[in-house]
C-alpha cells in the first residue's frame, strides 16, 4: 500500500477529520502497489474499499466546522434570492426528500472504479445548477408533449419545435429562439442555484453486480457474454433515501413562466430523477407541491428561506441559549422558534453569544413544524 503523494501531504492528512472529504476522496486516498495500484483501504485491502471511504466520511460529518459551513452556504443562497426579490424577481424553492438513493458523478475516473461528485469547498454531495437545469428542461419538454394543445402546435413530424417562443423553452432555459423566418440565440431568464442538502447528509454503500465483467473488459472482443461468467460486485457510495435537499431558482416576475417552471420542477423531482442510475429508480424525490414558494419581492417574506418553501423570516430577533439541553431559542413579534445544537450559530457572534447566552440578530429564518417553529438559519 502506498500514498502516491508527498510526505508533507501525508503528514497533513493527520488533520483530515476536520477537512474536506471530497478533496481526500479524489486526491489523497491510498492505493495498493501490489495490485496494479487499485484503490485500497488503510491496510492495503481492495475488497471493501467503499466502506473504508464511508468510515472516513462519517468522521468528517461530526465536524462542527462543516455543519457551520453548510449553514452559511444556505444563508448565502437565501440572501441571493432576497436581493433578486428586491429587484422585482421571484424565487421558486423546494424542500425535497429523497425517496430513493442518489448518486452523481459515478462515471468519473477514480481508482475505486466508481467516482462521486462533491462540492469543491464543502466536500459533501450536491447537485450542480447546470445539471438541475438540464433535468428541469427535460421535465418541461415532456410536459409540453403531454399537453394536447401544446403538442398540436409544437410537434411537427417526430420532433418538438423548442425554438418556438410558444414552448417557453427559449425564455426559461435559453438557446435558439425563432423569430419569423430567422433564429437567434437567447439567454434563459431563469437562474438555477446549486442544490445542497438541508443538513450534512449520510452516505451508504451500494453495489452494482455486473455478470459479464470479463466480456466488458475485453477490448479485443474475444470473450463472449456467457452465463458461465461469475458476477463481481462493485461497491459505490450513495446518498440514502430520506435525506433532504433544498432546490432554488430565481426568475422574473411572470405568472405564466413561473407556473411552467414549477410544473417542470415537479416532473424533474418526482418522475425523472437526478444524478446517475435514474433508469433503475435512483434520484427520485418526494416534494409537497403546496410548499412551492413564488413571491420573494419582499425580503421579509419566506420565499428565500434557508429551509425552503415553507419558511418565514423574522426580523430583529432575540436569541437565548440553554446549556443544559443545548437549545437555542429565538423570539420575535411574540413568536418563538427553537433549535437543538450549537452549530446553528454563525461564527461572527458565536464566542460572545455562548458567553452571555443571549444576542440580538438582524434576521432569523424559521420553518413551521406543526404548531411550533424550528430555526433553520441565523443572519447576524
The predicted-structure confidence for 104-119, as pLDDT tens digits, reads as follows 988 888 888 788 999 9
* Most confident among 23-32, 40-49, 134-143, 290-299 (mean pLDDT): 134-143
Claim: this prediction has a pTM higher than 0.75 = no
Candidates 1.20.120, 3.30.70, 2.40.50, 2.170.220; CATH matching 312-379: 2.40.50
Count Cβ atoms below 10 Å from residue 133 Cβ, excluding itself.
19
CA gap 276, 104 in Å, rounded:
5
Share of the chain above pLDDT 70, in %: 92
**Residues, the chain, total?**
380
Q: At 73, phi and psi to the nearest 5?
A: -65, -40
CA gap 5, 95 in Å, rounded:
41
Across the chain, mean pLDDT equals 86
Q: Who wins on pLDDT, 305 or 25? A: 25
Query: Which has the closest alpha carbon to 51: 206, 275, 208?
Result: 206
CA gap 41, 111 in Å, rounded:
12
Query: Which has the closest alpha carbon to 110: 276, 278, 237?
Result: 237
CA angle, 362 then 344 then 349, to 5°: 50
In the block, cell 422558534 appears at: 337
* Most confident among 41-50, 101-110, 189-198 (mean pLDDT): 189-198
Q: At 150, phi and psi to the nearest 5?
A: -65, -40
Beta bridge partners of 31: 2, 39
Amino acid at each position: 500500500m502506498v500514498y502516491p503523494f508527498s510526505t508533507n501531504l501525508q503528514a497533513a492528512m493527520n488533520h483530515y477529520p476536520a477537512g474536506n472529504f471530497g478533496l481526500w476522496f479524489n486526491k489523497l486516498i491510498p492505493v495498493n502497489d501490489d495490485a496494479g495500484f487499485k484503490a485500497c483501504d488503510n491496510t492495503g485491502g481492495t475488497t471493501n474499499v467503499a466502506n473504508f471511504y464511508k468510515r472516513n466520511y462519517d468522521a468528517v460529518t461530526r465536524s462542527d466546522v462543516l455543519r457551520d459551513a453548510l449553514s452559511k452556504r444556505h444563508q448565502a443562497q437565501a440572501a441571493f434570492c432576497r436581493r433578486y426579490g428586491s429587484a422585482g424577481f421571484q424565487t421558486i424553492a423546494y424542500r425535497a426528500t429523497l425517496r430513493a438513493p442518489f448518486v452523481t458523478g459515478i462515471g468519473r475516473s477514480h481508482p475505486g472504479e466508481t467516482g462521486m461528485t462533491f462540492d469543491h469547498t464543502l466536500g459533501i454531495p450536491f447537485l450542480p445548477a447546470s445539471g438541475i437545469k438540464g433535468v428541469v428542461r427535460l421535465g418541461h419538454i415532456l410536459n409540453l408533449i403531454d399537453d394536447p394543445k401544446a403538442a398540436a402546435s409544437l410537434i411537427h413530424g417526430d420532433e418538438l419545435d423548442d425554438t418556438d417562443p410558444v414552448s417557453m423553452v427559449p425564455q426559461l432555459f435559453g438557446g435558439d429562439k425563432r423569430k419569423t423566418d430567422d433564429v437567434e440565440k437567447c439567454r434563459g431568464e431563469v437562474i438555477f442555484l446549486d442544490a445542497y442538502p438541508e443538513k450534512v447528509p449520510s452516505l451508504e454503500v451500494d453495489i452494482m453486480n455486473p455478470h459479464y465483467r470479463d466480456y466488458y473488459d475485453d477490448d479485443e472482443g474475444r470473450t463472449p457474454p456467457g452465463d458461465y461468467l461469475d458476477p463481481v460486485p462493485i461497491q459505490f457510495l450513495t446518498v440514502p433515501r430520506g435525506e433532504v435537499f433544498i432546490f432554488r431558482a430565481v426568475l422574473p416576475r411572470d405568472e405564466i413562466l413561473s407556473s411552467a417552471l414549477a410544473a417542470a420542477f415537479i416532473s424533474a423531482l418526482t418522475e425523472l430523477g437526478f444524478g446517475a442510475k435514474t433508469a433503475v429508480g435512483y434520484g427520485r424525490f418526494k416534494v409537497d407541491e403546496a410548499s412551492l414558494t413564488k413571491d420573494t419581492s419582499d425580503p421579509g417574506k419566506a420565499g428565500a428561506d434557508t429551509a425552503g418553501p415553507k419558511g418565514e423570516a423574522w426580523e430583529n430577533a432575540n436569541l437565548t441559549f440553554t446549556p443544559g439541553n443545548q437549545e437555542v431559542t429565538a423570539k420575535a413579534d411574540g413568536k418563538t422558534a427553537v433549535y437543538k445544537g450549537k452549530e446553528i450559530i454563525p461564527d461572527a457572534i458565536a464566542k460572545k453569544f455562548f458567553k452571555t447566552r443571549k444576542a440580538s440578530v438582524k434576521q432569523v429564518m424559521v420553518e413551521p413544524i406543526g404548531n411550533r417553529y424550528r430555526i433553520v438559519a441565523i443572519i447576524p
